[in-house]
Amino acid sequence: MSDSHPTKTPTIAPAESSPSRKPSLKETAWEKNTLEPALAKSPERQATFTTISAHPIRRLYTPADLPGWDPATDLGQPGEPPYTRGIHATMHRGRLWTMRQFAGFGAAEDTNQRFRYLLAQGQSGLSTAFDLPTLMGYDSDHPLAEGEVGKCGVAISSLADMEVLFDQIPLANVTTSMTINSPAAVIWAMYLAVAEKQGADWKKISGTLQNDILKEYIAQKEYIYPPEPSMRLVIDTFEFGVKNTPKFNTISISGYHIREAGSTAIQELAFTLRDGMEYVEWGLRRGLEIDEFAPQLSFFFNAHSDFFEEIAKYRAARRIWHKAMTERYGSKSARSYALRFHTQTAGCSLTAQQPYNNVVRTALQALAAVLGGTQSLHTNSLDEAWALPTEFAATIALRTQQIVAHETGVINTVDPLGGSYFVETLTNEVERGAWDYIKRIDALGGMVAAIERGFPQREIAEASYRYQRELDNKEKLMVGVNAFVSDEKPLDILHIDETVANRQAARLKKLRAERSSEEVARRLSALRTATKGKENLMPFIYDAVKAYTTLGEICDAMRDTFGTYEEVAIT
């Protein structure tokens, strides 16, 4: 049974009525001679057309939408400011984006197997999902970890687990992204310890640490400590990264989670870039030189369902970052002001109903990310709304990227959509909308202040509620959910049971028995002392990690000094 397409009264004025728009004589003639008769014969299916972010879209874009637009300055060339067309001269002709599938479940050996499988199937980089206890700085045998071990990602409680995770994976040759935030410094220290053990040169290894605590307060909510000590930890990692791991991205400033929480595309862009500026300002206050640490800042965006809105968003992102970095912070290096980003297709757009439709959604979203010039991409699996990916589903997700890369031809030319009246106009509009928000956050005193006032959280809550109403009212359709519904059989999904927790508990018992308790105590004490001062904590965390102090023990030591944080809930 299919649903008829709804027509609704407009809540947003049609964009055609914009007063500053001056159509040419030819266009005005078209409106009179061709458009009006066509509309009289057959009205459009909706009163207004909007993106999933409620951004109004016009019937037709023409030069009238780009008054004063100068391709030389506004579009530019790929690999040159303002980077509208991409950050490299040859983009994907020169090098494909990194196919970097987010993976992690169970214990380290389970994820190690999936890592090696995905590499064998042609992915070009690793990306690690950790379980909730790990994300929250708890060992697998902590009381609060009950029921959660290995369920949302891999359980990592110590260096011993990390060693198993990267067994037979040479960190000198493989780049790894780690989605970890509050305990990022600890997990990174473990990764570096594994690299050292393997004989990989810290100066050459590459990868990314998510390490973006601001978006935790805004959206993902996996914070441990309050903002001030959390930012201290982040800047400590920046400082450490500058000195020791110049090729490692010490942060992945993220919009993905902000979007998943229900923000609009403009909010995703604005809050992410303003977070980026906040990190830059804190780094500068620490005494770092802008072009010293900024090259190691990277970004992470969502690839949601509205195809052109996403492409416009990525193009606007590069322009905004270049402008902010040069005008606000005086950056002189392209390594600092050329925005590099990873993309993940939108998990929140995938449905539990008719899950095979998700393959299609993911493919289209991946295409948008590629056309938008991403440097790295994760494509979600069809079973996203049910469980962590089965091997079968994860393989299709990877193949999706390979098909886009090798069969569609979209990578044959750089920025194929450049010069489109629509795409350039939308890029301008998204950029303007983002700058509005950025300035509002500036006026509030910066991002930490804005978070403390609940500003981004409230904007996101409003946007997510509006979208839910649109779905409930069928103003926005979701195939298989509120339209084209059908009966279906359940899917075969991945199950993770409690044996992971048992395995981890046994391992931790063994670890605590075999390591030197004196060394652990000594190094934890040194760390504790350091937390009370201003020294960079990374060396202390690294020392603790090497003695097989557990994640929970290190995070607890920091809890003792920093305290913990809980938000005032805004509904």
Two tokens at 210?
């998510």
Closest listed residue to residue 347, CA positions, set 462, 106, 537, 179: 179
Q: Which stretch binds other proteins (CB under 8 A): 20-28, 143-151, 267-275, 436-444?
A: 143-151
Q: Which of 266, 301, 274 has its CA nearest to residue 459? A: 266
Residue 478 makes contact with other proteins by CB under 8 A: yes
- Classified as helix, coil or strand, 76 is coil
* Per-residue contact string for residues 346-365; x = within reach of other proteins by CB under 8 A: --x--xxx------------
Subset of 182-221 contacting other proteins (CB under 8 A):
216, 220-221
Give the whole-angstrom CA distance, residue 364 versus residue 350.
12
Compute how many residues bind other proteins; rule: CB under 8 A. Answer: 46
Residue 182: CB minimum distance to other proteins, A:
10
Cβ proximity to other proteins: between 331 and 381 the closer is: 381
Taking CB under 8 A as the binding criterion, the range among 66-74, 435-443, 553-561, 563-571 that sits at the site for other proteins is 563-571
- Beginning with the edge strand found earlier in the chain, give each strand of the sheet holding 176-179 in spatial order: 248-249, 207-209, 176-179, 125-129, 98-103, 376-378, 341-345, 297-303, 251-254
Piece in contact with other proteins (CB under 8 A), picked from 169-177, 202-210, 295-303, 490-498: 490-498
- What mask, x for binding other proteins by CB under 8 A, covers residues 261 to 280? xx------------------
- Least CB distance from residue 222 to other proteins, whole Å? 5
Residues 243-262 close enough to bind other proteins by CB under 8 A: 260-262
Dump the DSSP string for 171-210: TTT--EEEE--TTHHHHHHHHHHHHHHHT--TTT--EEE-
Q: Which is nearer to other proteins, 27 or 567 (CB)?
A: 567
DSSP 217: I
Least distance to other proteins, CB of residue 184, Å: 16
Among 464, 475, 477, 546, the residue binding other proteins under the rule CB under 8 A is 464
Q: Does 468 bind other proteins (CB under 8 A)?
A: yes
227 belongs to the binding site for other proteins (CB under 8 A)? no
Find the distance separating the first CA and the last CA of the chain, reported in whole Å: 36
Contact 90, 139 (CB under 8 A): no
34 binds other proteins (CB under 8 A): no
- Binding flag, residue 385, other proteins (CB under 8 A): yes
Contact assessment for residue 155 and residue 500, using Cβ atoms and an 8 Å cutoff: yes
- Touching other proteins, residues 101-120 (CB under 8 A): none
The residue among 169 and 387 lying less far from other proteins, judged by its C-beta, is: 387
132 touching other proteins, by CB under 8 A: yes
Say whether residue 553 binds other proteins (CB under 8 A): no
Query: What's the rounded Cα separation, in Å, for the pair 40 and 20?
Result: 26
Helix (H, G, I), strand (E, B) or coil at 337: helix
Stretch that binds other proteins, among 166-174, 408-416, 438-446, 463-471 (CB under 8 A): 463-471
Residue 486 near other proteins by CB under 8 A: no
Contact 331, 294 (CB under 8 A): yes
What secondary structure letter does DSSP report for 248?
E
Rounded Cα distance between 14 and 20, Å, is 14
Residue type, 460: I
- For residue 251, the number of C-alpha atoms closer than 13 Å in the C-beta half-sphere is 33
Binding residues vs other proteins (CB under 8 A): 132-133, 135-136, 138, 144-148, 151-152, 216, 220-223, 260-262, 348, 351-353, 385-387, 461, 464-465, 468, 471-472, 478, 480-482, 490, 493, 495-496, 566-567, 569-571
